[in-house]
Structure formats: C-alpha cells, structure tokens
C-alpha cells in the first residue's frame, strides 16, 4: 500500500436502518488491507458514531476516507443545521435527540466525546444553517 486509497460514501438522509453501511464497508476494507486491529477498531467506532449523527441530526451528506500507510483520514461533511455550541455538544450526556431516536438505541449524548476518544485528531467546522464537517485522523 504505497499510495493512499480514497473511498467516498453518499450518506442518505432519514434512512436509519441503513446508517452504518459506510462504516461497515470501511471496516471490511481496512481488515483486508491488513491494517492493525487496534486502528481498525478506532476507525470503526469513530466513523460509525459520526455516520449515525449525520443521519439522525443532519440531512445525510458525504463521507470521504483516505487510507495511507501511516494514518486513516475521515472527513464527514453534512448539510444539516450545524452545531450552535460545540463545547456543549462535546460534553458526555448532552443530546438534542428526540425520544423516538432514544427508542432506537441512540441519543445518549456519547457520540462526539467517543469520536474524540478514539481518534488522534478531530476538528469540527460548523456553520449554522449550512452544515457540519468533522475531520478525524487515526494514526497507524
């Protein structure tokens, strides 16, 4: 794997049952490329949390994953409402998810802190009314 491999996924809005398909595909690819299990696990959890967020809080969007020999870069760009207060959103337990999402097993306010925990770098760029782009790096 000398050159970077680039994967892109269109995330469809409001289709909760399909949320996670992209993360699942990335996990398979990383495993078949022989990426160390610990890095695969970190990418899987962080990307899955982010992908679920794109479906339940935003209107879907685009995920780009770049696999290099020394790191995995994930860019999750959505066209949702944006995040008004990033510090608050990053707090464990803070959630604006409706009850309906909670009955589906999500909405505990743990996703963003978990993404931070499992990645080496994470930045959030958000514009109210336009969307949010989350960039994450896992070092191999």
Partner 1 sequence: MTVRDAMEILNAKVLVGEDNLDQEVKSACGSDLMSDVLAFSKDHSILLTGLCNPQVIRTAEMLDIVCLIFVRGKMPDDTILEMAKERGLVVLWTEHRMFSSCGRLYQAGLGAGAFGGAF
Considering only 11, 95, 137, 138, the residue that binds ligand ATP (CB under 6 A) is: 95
Radius of gyration of the chain (CA): 14
Phi, psi of 92 (to 5 degrees): -60, 130
Q: How many CB atoms lie within 10 A of CB 85?
A: 10
C-alpha to C-alpha distance for 89 and 92, rounded to whole angstroms: 8
Residue selected from 63, 89, 122, 137 as contacting ligand ATP according to rule CB under 6 A: 89
- Counting contacts by CB under 8 A, is residue 20 touching partner 1? yes
Instruction: Report helix, strand or coil for 65.
Output: strand
Query: How many CB atoms within 10 Å of residue 69?
Result: 11
> In the set 39, 77, 104, 124, which binds partner 1 (CB under 8 A)?
104
Residues 37-76, mask of contacts with Mg ion (x by CB under 5 A) = ----------------x-----------------------
Q: Which residues bind partner 1 (CB under 8 A)?
A: 16-20, 23-24, 27, 37, 41, 44-45, 48-49, 52, 92, 102, 104-111, 113-114, 116-117
């Amino acid at each position: 794997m000398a050159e970077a491999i680039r994967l892109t996924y269109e995330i469809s809005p409001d289709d909760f049952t399909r949320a996670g398909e992209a993360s699942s595909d990335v996990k398979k690819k990383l495993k078949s490329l022989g990426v160390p299990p610990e890095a695969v696990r970190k990418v899987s959890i962080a990307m899955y949390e982010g992908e679920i967020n794109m479906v339940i809080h935003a209107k879907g969007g685009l995920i780009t994953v770049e696999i290099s020999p020394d790191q995995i870069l994930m860019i999750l760009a959505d066209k949702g409402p944006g995040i008004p207060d990033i510090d608050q959103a990053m707090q464990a337990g803070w959630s604006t998810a409706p009850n309906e999402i909670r009955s589906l097993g999500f909405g505990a306010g743990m996703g963003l802190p978990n993404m931070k925990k499992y990645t080496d770098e994470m930045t959030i760029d958000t514009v109210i009314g336009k969307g949010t782009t989350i960039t994450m790096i896992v070092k191999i």
